[in-house]
């Protein structure tokens, strides 16, 4: 038992694990440097709060699992009982194992070879074991600090008693200091995912619950607490992400006693988790990240961590054409072949056949569940289209929505009991569909068998777009609440399918972006950020999705001139610049577009491919611009020799000239040639003469320090237009 100091990248974690109770996080935040072991007790003492009037007679110890027995009167870390007994715990520390292969972690005890399934090579890991024999419970806390500085915490609770124990809530929490006085989180809805909201952090709990049975359009990908006024490039910030694709909760709690915590876990329905003797419940991973340099610093840690995962997609992300907005349910082989021809001409590398290919699926009211190719529409099956697509050198992808069933389907008619439901009634329909109960072994086996068969029976399906188009409502399994079991079963299904089909890529789509979380992303290769392809809406959706995920994991497609979901009209330049910064694609019927448009589209696709190594490997930066009508972001290569920025005008501004845009992330000591990239048209400008630097064909050469501190005056762009700038180091 010891005081443990873990250090990775720019983050330190100090745990007081001397017992007798659960460890206390003494510090989670900026790297403290290589502290001598002798300094650690003094550090701990310096952080112990005083005893104040009208309070407990000893300082409250806020552990990773807050307990009333340690003087905590905020939200409990564990809520549960055994028939009304064992409702409060006082865990006592048994062992603390530290596996810190490259660290200088104080007087830590080193235990080699404790690989866990997350954190990655080179991570520091602490495993805490504690028990409360009186309550008949034991607890394991798994803490990992990855080489990127990303912290994860998971609790495992085991029932050591001889009668069942019900878990109502088990939530890891981390303390944040009082300087973090402002909160930022995200909400959203269909076609408007990831809307930021921020406010001072008041006393009480700011609780973000998602009861959708999926991650949810409104899920806060990060809950951020920071120094007041923090921005993308400034301020100290702490954030957590609850990695779970079922019901979940993410909480910021500030107490009048002075403590402030961030935490997150699963949202359990009464009766959902009943542990039999010897059984264990594991929480979702709580990811936690700190940055001394604003929100971009959070993304740095997260993106670096995600990119280091062995499962992270490494091949160049193929430019994708998805046929949904081009043909909807109107499947016709010749028409789709024609679309594939046009796609190949403009440089597409993956062609995805969306909803509508399987039995009875002529509209969204029938067919889900019947995963056989529809002979009426596809008399020769899908293979002719697959072959045609592959002949062009493109990959073929196929849409599925495995967890769902239409009541108007052969599957439902044969197995009405294979549906999640409360006893005696079906949940209200949503898009005319119900949810298959994947905790039902026969339903699971059937579905795995069908998906496997579709993949085996066709030569060349490289990719599945895996959709999920409704909330889980009254989602019961065998008469009990079933969201937890369903979520676990979906993970198992994905894992099993991938194991059977190595190399298969999967996209996580859920009515657009309603299943975006780091647990689904351990078994999928990208997310569909939104069903809204309107570039103006997309700018915000992608910016905030990108807080968590690097661009290569976010599907960003060029939609049609008139957006199908908002009816706004945008020129190709604005749509293309917006879609450039992600896993690029097209979602548009390009079979009827003019030759000029086709040439321009091909130029944008070619530009994306040229910039792809930078866009999918570099550091994402966003500009803190004072004018809300201006949004700018960029990607800078790690050696800072190359960068690309987009400056978009969202609306008109109060000021005629909105002010210079500072370009963050460059090397202050180097000089950069700045100019719009060649080969693609520049936006039409709203002025008599553009700024001098833009007027000259050769661009302008300026130092990184000037570009970062003074910035560039921009040309006056029309609203809903964007200017792209490419920077190359001149020396
Ligand atoms: C919802 C998805 O988000 C869309 O992209 C499309 O695949 C439809 N479902 C198909 O039904």
**325: CA distance to ligand 1 center in Å?**
9
Q: Which residue has the higher pLDDT, 682 or 530?
A: 530
pLDDT value at 302 more than 90? yes
pLDDT value at 115 more than 50? no
pLDDT of residue 690: 83
Angle made by CA atoms 425, 428, 429, in degrees to the nearest 5 = 120
What is the distance between the alpha carbons of residues 194 and 222, in angstroms, rounded to a whole number? 10
**621: CA distance to ligand 1 center in Å?**
30
Q: Whose CA is nearest to atom 6 of ligand 1?
A: 324
The answer to whether 106 and 98 have CB atoms below 8 angstroms apart is no
The secondary structure element, H or E, covering residue 600 is helix 595-615
The answer to whether 94 and 129 have CB atoms below 8 angstroms apart is yes
pLDDT classification of 104: cutoffs 50, 70, 90: low
pLDDT classification of 102: cutoffs 50, 70, 90: low
pLDDT of residue 410: 98
Domains of the chain: 2-308 (2.70.98.60), 320-618 (3.20.20.70), 623-729 (2.60.40.1180)
pLDDT classification of 106: cutoffs 50, 70, 90: very low
What is the distance between the alpha carbons of residues 599 and 432, in angstroms, rounded to a whole number? 41
**6: CA distance to ligand 1 center in Å?**
44
pLDDT value at 526 more than 70? yes
Ligand 1 mutation target, pool 327, 397, 469, 515, most atoms within 8 A of CB: 469
pLDDT tens digits for range 201-249 = 999 999 999 999 999 999 999 999 999 999 999 999 999 999 999 999 9
Only one residue has tokens 């200091």, namely 177
3-class SS at 610? helix
The atom number, within ligand 1, closest to the CA of 587 reads 5
For 28, 326, 328, 361, the CA distances from 175, given in Å and listed in that order, are: 7, 49, 49, 51
Pairing of strands 78-81, 165-170: antiparallel
Q: Any residues with Cβ below 6 Å from ligand 1, and which? A: 324, 354-355, 399, 467, 469, 509, 511-512, 528, 531
Known catalytic membership, residue 247: no
Q: Whose CA is nearest to atom 9 of ligand 1?
A: 511
Known catalytic membership, residue 531: yes
**354: CA distance to ligand 1 center in Å?**
7
Q: What is the DSSP string of 550-586?
A: -GGGEEEEE--SB-TTT--B--HHHHHHHHHSSEEEE
What is the distance between the alpha carbons of residues 238 and 396, in angstroms, rounded to a whole number? 41
pLDDT tens digits for range 571-616 = 999 999 999 999 999 999 999 999 999 999 999 999 999 999 999 9
pLDDT value at 371 more than 80? yes
Ligand 1 mutation target, pool 430, 464, 467, most atoms within 8 A of CB: 467
pLDDT of residue 685: 79
pLDDT classification of 543: cutoffs 50, 70, 90: very high
Longest pairwise C-alpha distance within the chain: 83
Q: Whose CA is nearest to atom 2 of ligand 1?
A: 511
**405: CA distance to ligand 1 center in Å?**
15
Q: Which residues contact 441 (CB under 8 A, 6 or more apart)?
A: none
pTM score: 0.97
pLDDT of residue 696: 76
pLDDT tens digits for range 638-651 = 999 999 999 999 99
Ligand 1 mutation target, pool 366, 465, 509, most atoms within 8 A of CB: 509
**510: CA distance to ligand 1 center in Å?**
8
Query: Among the residues of 205-314, which ranges form H helices?
Result: 294-307
Ligand 1 mutation target, pool 399, 506, 526, 564, most atoms within 8 A of CB: 399
What is the distance between the alpha carbons of residues 556 and 456, in angstroms, rounded to a whole number? 29
What is the distance between the alpha carbons of residues 244 and 517, in angstroms, rounded to a whole number? 6
Q: Whose CA is nearest to atom 10 of ligand 1?
A: 355
Mean pLDDT of 483-488: 98
pLDDT of residue 105: 46
pLDDT of residue 60: 86
Q: Which residues contact 623 (CB under 8 A, 6 or more apart)?
A: 232, 233, 630, 631, 632, 633, 634, 645, 647, 661, 662, 663, 664
**376: CA distance to ligand 1 center in Å?**
22
The atom number, within ligand 1, closest to the CA of 510 reads 3
pLDDT of residue 653: 93
pLDDT of residue 107: 39
pLDDT of residue 282: 98
Mean pLDDT of 37-45: 93
Q: Whose CA is nearest to atom 11 of ligand 1?
A: 355
Point out the catalytic residue in the list 437, 467, 525, 534. 467
Query: Among the residues of 483-532, which ranges form H helices?
Result: 483-500
pLDDT tens digits for range 693-717 = 887 777 899 999 999 999 999 888 9
């Amino acid at each position: 038992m010891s005081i443990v100091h873990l250090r990775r990248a720019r983050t330190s974690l100090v745990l007081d694990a001397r017992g007798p109770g659960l460890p206390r996080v003494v510090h989670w935040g900026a790297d403290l440097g290589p502290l001598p072991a002798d300094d650690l007790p003094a550090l701990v003492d310096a952080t112990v709060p005083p005893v104040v009037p009208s309070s407990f007679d000893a300082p409250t110890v806020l552990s990773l699992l807050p307990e009333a027995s340690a003087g905590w009167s905020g939200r409990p870390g564990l809520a549960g009982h055994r028939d009304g007994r064992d409702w409060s715990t006082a865990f006592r520390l048994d062992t603390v194992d530290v596996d810190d292969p490259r660290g200088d972690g104080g007087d830590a005890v080193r235990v080699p070879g404790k690989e866990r399934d997350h954190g990655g090579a080179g991570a520091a890991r602490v495993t805490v074991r504690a028990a409360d024999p009186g309550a008949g419970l034991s607890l394991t806390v798994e803490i990992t600090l990855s080489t990127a500085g990303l912290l994860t915490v998971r609790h495992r609770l085991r029932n050591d008693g001889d009668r069942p124990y019900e878990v109502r809530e088990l939530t890891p929490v981390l303390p944040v200091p009082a300087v973090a006085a402002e909160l930022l989180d995200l909400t959203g809805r269909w076609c408007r995912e990831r809307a930021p909201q921020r406010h001072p952090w008041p006393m009480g709990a700011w609780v973000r619950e998602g009861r959708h049975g999926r991650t949810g359009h409104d899920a806060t990908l990060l809950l951020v607490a920071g120094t007041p006024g923090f921005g993308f490039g400034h301020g100290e910030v702490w954030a957590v992400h609850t990695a779970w694709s079922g019901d979940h909760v993410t909480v910021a709690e500030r107490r009048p006693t002075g403590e402030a915590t961030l935490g997150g876990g699963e949202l359990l329905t009464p009766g959902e988790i009943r542990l039999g003797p010897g059984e264990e419940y594991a929480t979702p991973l709580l990811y936690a990240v700190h940055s001394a340099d604003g929100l971009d610093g959070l993304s740095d840690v997260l993106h670096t961590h995600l990119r280091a995962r062995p499962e992270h997609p490494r091949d160049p992300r193929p430019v994708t054409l998805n046929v949904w907005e081009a043909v909807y349910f109107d499947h016709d082989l010749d028409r789709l072949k024609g679309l594939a021809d046009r796609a190949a001409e403009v440089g597409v590398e993956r062609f995805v056949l969306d909803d509508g290919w399987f039995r009875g699926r002529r509209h969204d009211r029938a067919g889900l569940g019947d995963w056989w190719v529809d002979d009426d529409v596809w008399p020769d099956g899908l293979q002719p289209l697959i072959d045609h697509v592959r002949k062009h050198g493109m990959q073929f992808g196929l849409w599925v929505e495995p967890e769902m069933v239409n009541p108007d389907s052969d599957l439902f008619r044969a197995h009405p009991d294979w549906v999640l439901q409360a006893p005696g009634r079906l949940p209200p329909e949503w898009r005319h569909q119900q949810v298959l109960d994947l905790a039902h072994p026969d339903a699971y086996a059937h579905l795995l068998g069908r998906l496997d068969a579709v993949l085996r029976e066709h030569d060349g399906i490289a990719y599945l777009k895996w959709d999920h188009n409704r909330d889980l409502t009254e989602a019961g399994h065998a008469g009990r609440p079933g969201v937890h079991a369903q979520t676990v079963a979906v993970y198992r299904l994905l894992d099993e399918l991938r194991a059977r089909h190595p190399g298969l890529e999967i996209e996580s789509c859920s009515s657009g972006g309603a299943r975006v979380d780091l647990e689904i992303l351990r078994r999928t290769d990208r997310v569909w950020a939104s069903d809204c392809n309107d570039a103006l809406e997309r700018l915000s959706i992608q910016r905030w999705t990108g807080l968590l995920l690097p661009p290569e994991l976010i599907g960003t497609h060029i939609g049609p001139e008139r957006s199908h979901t908002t009816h706004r009209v945008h020129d190709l330049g604005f749509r293309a610049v917006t879609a450039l910064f992600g896993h690029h694609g097209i979602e548009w019927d390009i079979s009827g577009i003019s030759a000029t448009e086709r040439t321009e589209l091909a130029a944008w696709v070619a530009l994306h491919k040229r910039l792809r190594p930078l866009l999918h490997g570099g550091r994402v930066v966003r500009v803190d611009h004072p004018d809300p009508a201006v949004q700018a972001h960029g990607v800078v290569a790690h050696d800072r020799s190359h960068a690309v920025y987009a400056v978009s005008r969202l609306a008109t501004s109060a000021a005629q000239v909105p002010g210079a845009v500072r370009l963050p992330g460059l090397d202050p000591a180097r000089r950069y040639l700045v100019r719009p990239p060649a080969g693609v048209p520049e936006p039409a400008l709203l002025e008599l003469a553009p700024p001098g630097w833009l007027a000259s064909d050769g661009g302008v050469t300026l130092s990184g320090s000037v570009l970062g501190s003074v910035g560039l005056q921009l040309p006056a762009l029309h609203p809903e237009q964007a200017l792209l700038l490419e920077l190359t180091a001149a020396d």
